[in-house]
A = this chain, B = another copy of it.
Amino acid sequence: MSRATVHDLLDRNEIAALQQWLAEHQPHEIADELGRTDELRAVLLFRLLGKDEALTVFEELDPPEQQKVLSGLRDQSFRDLVEAMDPDDRVRLLGESPAKFVHRVLIGLSPQERATTAALLGYPEGSVGRYMTPETVTLRQDLTASEALSRIHDRGTDAETVYTLLVVDDRRHFIGTVSLRDLVLASTEQPVSELTDPETLRVRADENAEDSARLMQDANLLDLPVVDSEDRVLGLLTIDDAVELIEAADSEDIARQAAASPWSGHYMSASVLQLARSRIVWLLLLIVAATLTVNVLQFFESTLEEVTTLALFVPLLIGTGGNAGAQAATASVRALAVGEVRTGDVLRVAWRECRVGLTLGVTLAVLGLGIGTVFVGVGVAATLAVSLIAVCGWAAMIGATMPLLAKRANIDPAVISTPLVTTLVDATGLIIYFMMARAFLGI
């Protein structure tokens, strides 16, 4: 049954058919459908779910959609859902919600869940503390494998994961981790201390969440222990949250690369104004930056009046320079994001990219010479060709180093987006072009 049909069924209020559709689909498919529809229809559909299934589907939704569904529920269903959520998911939802909504959630919670939630909300935005689960199982070193397993059997029901167990001393200081795998594979009398990995990586709760997630990916960890400043165990960052963090960071980098503000909701449920708002600020900044090109062209207006054919190649030249700069900027931003490049590499990167740009420029210049000669003749064509070489070398060097310099200045390197690089390269490219023209054509 197609999406349109679900929409129609909702509008025609065909309950039986909708229930059949729900029964035939996986929770994540139902969640996707909820994400695509407006608040009214989403709540209608959601109310048709059984209690257990409702929770499963609800957990698959992104925070803006969770808020959408919750806002349409009556108090009892509302309270049941927020009470049943994992604390880390609840904190993520609250972090993106207006104060009034946060209040409604908090007063609806049991005292215990409210205390846990308040503690997690105390960590700064974007820190691991906001994403970790405090519901873990801790073990003492002096247990045997079988004692540990029976402790997990008794205590594990409430834990978000039992695959990584935190080994602690009597004051909850972190000693290491042991995996459920090792406990199950060990002989029953083997002490936990022998199975503990003492070199286990861990992060402090106030450290950056995205960095922690990428660390998990680099080190192939299922769970990453989170500790406080005195190395006492607070919880675990689990792989499913790490994947979401990495994906959200990638989405943000991708949006930034095109000079749009990141937007955490579902694309299809965003309104025209929401989309426009996420894009307009950068466009305004860029159009202001682009007045630089007007200045440059005005400065060379006499040259332009003398040889109008020079204008023919302006879009081609600055387009190519922008593309070469964009390629280098993208490579550099990505290499920084995945940790392949460090800020200390800036000179090495600049030198390499400059050579890459010149290599590309020389190749393109051959083609440019041909195109230019066909359209207007060899003089302007030579100007174009030499400009292409210079512009490509310059664009690649600037494009690759700007993100590194941004990172050094503690600015998100992804802010040095393709359009920003392009706009800067446009202005400098024009200066190079007209200087070459004056030299070559003797104007």
Query: Which residues of A are interface residues toward B (Cβ below 8 A)?
Result: 2-3, 26-28, 31-32, 35-36, 59-60, 149, 152-153, 156-157, 161-163, 180-181, 184-185, 199, 201, 215, 217-220, 222, 239-240, 242-244, 246-247, 250-251, 253-255, 257-260, 266-268, 272-273, 275-276, 279-280, 282-284, 286-288, 290-291, 293-294, 297-298, 301, 304-305, 308-309, 311-316, 318-320, 322-324, 326-327, 329-335, 338-342, 344-345, 348, 352-353, 355-356, 359-360, 363-364, 367-368, 371, 375, 418-419, 422-423, 426, 430
Once the chains are docked, how many angstroms separate the CA of A219 from the CA of B60?
7
B residues in contact with A330, CB < 8 Å: 254-255, 257-258, 260
Residue in A215, A258, A291, A326 with the greatest tally of chain B CB atoms within 10 Å = A258
Contact between chains at B163 and A185 (CB < 8 Å) = no
Contact between chains at B284 and A251 (CB < 8 Å) = no
User: Given A293-B316, A326-B258, A153 and B185 touching (CB < 8 A)?
Assistant: yes
Contact between chains at B315 and A318 (CB < 8 Å) = yes
Once the chains are docked, how many angstroms separate the CA of A203 from the CA of B72?
36
Contact between chains at A375 and B294 (CB < 8 Å) = yes
Contact between chains at B291 and A426 (CB < 8 Å) = no
User: Given A180-B184, A218-B28, A268-B335, A287 and B243 touching (CB < 8 A)?
Assistant: no
Once the chains are docked, how many angstroms separate the CA of A211 from the CA of B410?
35
* Main SS class of interface, A: helix
Contact between chains at A284 and B363 (CB < 8 Å) = yes
> When the two chains form the complex, which single residue of B254, B319, B371 contacts A257, counting CB atoms closer than 8 Å?
B254
Once the chains are docked, how many angstroms separate the CA of A426 from the CA of B257?
19
Once the chains are docked, how many angstroms separate the CA of A185 from the CA of B329?
51
Once the chains are docked, how many angstroms separate the CA of A163 from the CA of B340?
31
Contact between chains at A360 and B163 (CB < 8 Å) = no
User: Given A243-B243, A301-B308, A312-B298, A319 and B286 touching (CB < 8 A)?
Assistant: yes
Once the chains are docked, how many angstroms separate the CA of A54 from the CA of B59?
40
A77 nearest CB across to chain B (Å): 23
Contact between chains at A254 and B254 (CB < 8 Å) = yes
Contact between chains at A184 and B217 (CB < 8 Å) = no
Once the chains are docked, how many angstroms separate the CA of A294 from the CA of B320?
13
B residues in contact with A217, CB < 8 Å: 243-244, 247
Once the chains are docked, how many angstroms separate the CA of A340 from the CA of B282?
24
**Nearest opposing residue in chain B for A427, CB measure:** B315
Once the chains are docked, how many angstroms separate the CA of A329 from the CA of B283?
15
B residues in contact with A430, CB < 8 Å: 315
Once the chains are docked, how many angstroms separate the CA of A183 from the CA of B340?
41
B residues in contact with A26, CB < 8 Å: 199, 201, 219
8 A-B residue contacts at CB 8 Å?
A3-B344, A184-B184, A217-B247, A267-B334, A275-B356, A287-B368, A298-B312, A304-B311
Once the chains are docked, how many angstroms separate the CA of A291 from the CA of B317?
10
> When the two chains form the complex, which single residue of B290, B315, B327 contacts A320, counting CB atoms closer than 8 Å?
B290
A204 nearest CB across to chain B (Å): 17
**Nearest opposing residue in chain B for A242, CB measure:** B243
> When the two chains form the complex, which single residue of B201, B280, B315 contacts A290, counting CB atoms closer than 8 Å?
B315
Contact between chains at A315 and B286 (CB < 8 Å) = no
> When the two chains form the complex, which single residue of B36, B180, B348 contacts A163, counting CB atoms closer than 8 Å?
B180
Contact between chains at A356 and B243 (CB < 8 Å) = no
User: Given A275-B352, A291-B371, A426-B319, A239 and B222 touching (CB < 8 A)?
Assistant: yes
**Nearest opposing residue in chain B for A342, CB measure:** B3
Contact between chains at B279 and A360 (CB < 8 Å) = yes
